[in-house]
């Protein structure tokens, strides 16, 4: 009887530890939603060097202000925790804006910085188009490179010990092997430094695209797609009409002027003929 009660208690505990999904309750695995910045804590993956990339869409006239707000947020953190590494802002003839900001952040701040960046975009009536987080197992690479460096250093010591009392030809071969081992140790040490640098700072990139974010509709819905097509079609039609007018008006004006001059000359000729008659 006691065993049966214990089994039932374990089943109840297991059932309560997982929130149901059918009734809309959010569980730990569902905590990331379309309106939040997906990510993982760096403490959950020690030794992994992450890179964050966010794509935003918002009205063209507000991109510059949002980009400036993101840059100011980085500057407030200080250069030891955030540095701006790249900036681009371009506007084409159709007033379409394409912009980018690149940052290097302290790893423990990257995720929160992305969330705050999304809030600034949404406050400007924008939305998130895509969010990507990639990682590289720098810790494992550092371990492998460290073993390679130590092995090359050990080879150098062995070669130094063997070169004592050897002949000229044998010493020349040992010197060649020693140079190879030193190069291998140097290359490994440089790679270790690069991997450690990738763990010390996390790259974060914000891309901005011009467009109207319809907050009440899903961006992939047929209605939103139809609205985008209508705007694109109207812009193309207006551009085509203006281009046709720009190409056709000068020849038409010259033709009308020639027709008017011909008609006027014809009337003057007819009058002169009438007077002579």
- Alpha-helical (H) ranges within the chain are 2-16, 60-77, 110-123, 138-162, 168-200, 222-276
> CA dist 228 to 99, 163, 221, 222, 235, Å?
21, 76, 11, 10, 11
For residue 38, which of 130, 120, 103 has the smallest C-alpha distance?
A: 130
Q: Is the pLDDT confidence value at 171 over 70?
A: yes
* 33-64 exposure pattern, b = at least 16 Cβ within 10 A, e = fewer: eeeebbbeebeeeebbbbebbbbbbbebebbe
The proportion of the chain whose per-residue pLDDT surpasses 70, expressed as a percent, equals 77
**pLDDT tens digit string along 173-182?**
888 888 999 9
**pLDDT tens digit string along 50-100?**
999 999 999 999 999 999 999 999 999 999 999 999 999 998 877 788 999
When pLDDT is cut at 50, 70 and 90, the band that residue 36 belongs to is very low
When pLDDT is cut at 50, 70 and 90, the band that residue 10 belongs to is very low
Q: Which two tokens stand for residue 199?
A: 């763990």
The proportion of the chain whose per-residue pLDDT surpasses 90, expressed as a percent, equals 36
d(CA 236, CA 137): 48
Residue 222, pLDDT score: 59
Cβ pair 128, 215 in contact under 8 A:
no
**pLDDT tens digit string along 230-240?**
777 777 787 78
Residues 146-160 have a mean pLDDT of 91
Beta bridge partners of 209: 57, 98
> CA dist 80 to 55, 56, 157, Å?
25, 27, 40
Q: Is the pLDDT confidence value at 28 over 60?
A: no
Residues 197-213 have a mean pLDDT of 88
Residue 226, pLDDT score: 67
């Amino acid at each position: 009887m006691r065993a049966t009660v214990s089994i039932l208690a374990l089943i109840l505990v297991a059932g309560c530890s997982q929130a149901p999904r059918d009734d809309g309750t959010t569980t730990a695995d569902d905590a990331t939603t379309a309106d939040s910045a997906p990510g993982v804590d760096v403490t959950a993956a020690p030794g992994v060097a992450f890179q964050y990339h966010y794509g935003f869409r918002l009205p063209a006239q507000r991109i510059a202000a949002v980009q400036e707000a993101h840059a100011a947020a980085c500057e407030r953190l200080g250069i030891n925790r955030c540095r701006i590494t790249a900036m681009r802002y371009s506007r084409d003839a159709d007033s379409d804006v394409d912009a980018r900001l690149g940052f290097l952040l302290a790893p423990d701040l990257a995720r929160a910085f992305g969330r705050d960046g999304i809030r600034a975009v949404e406050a400007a009536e924008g939305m998130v188009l895509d969010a990507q987080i990639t990682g590289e197992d720098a810790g494992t690479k550092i371990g492998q490179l460290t073993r390679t460096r130590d092995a090359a250093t050990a080879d150098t010591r062995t070669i130094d010990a063997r070169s004592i009392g050897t002949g000229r030809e044998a010493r020349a071969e040992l010197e060649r092997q020693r140079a190879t081992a030193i190069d291998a140790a140097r290359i490994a040490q440089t790679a270790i430094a690069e991997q450690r640098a990738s763990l010390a700072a996390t790259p974060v990139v914000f891309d901005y695209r011009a467009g109207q974010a319809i907050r009440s509709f899903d961006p992939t819905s047929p209605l939103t797609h139809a609205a985008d097509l209508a705007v694109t079609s109207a812009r193309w039609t207006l551009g085509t009409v203006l281009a046709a007018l720009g190409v056709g008006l000068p020849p038409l004006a010259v033709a009308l002027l020639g027709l008017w001059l011909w008609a006027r000359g014809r009337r003057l000729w007819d009058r002169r003929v009438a007077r002579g008659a």
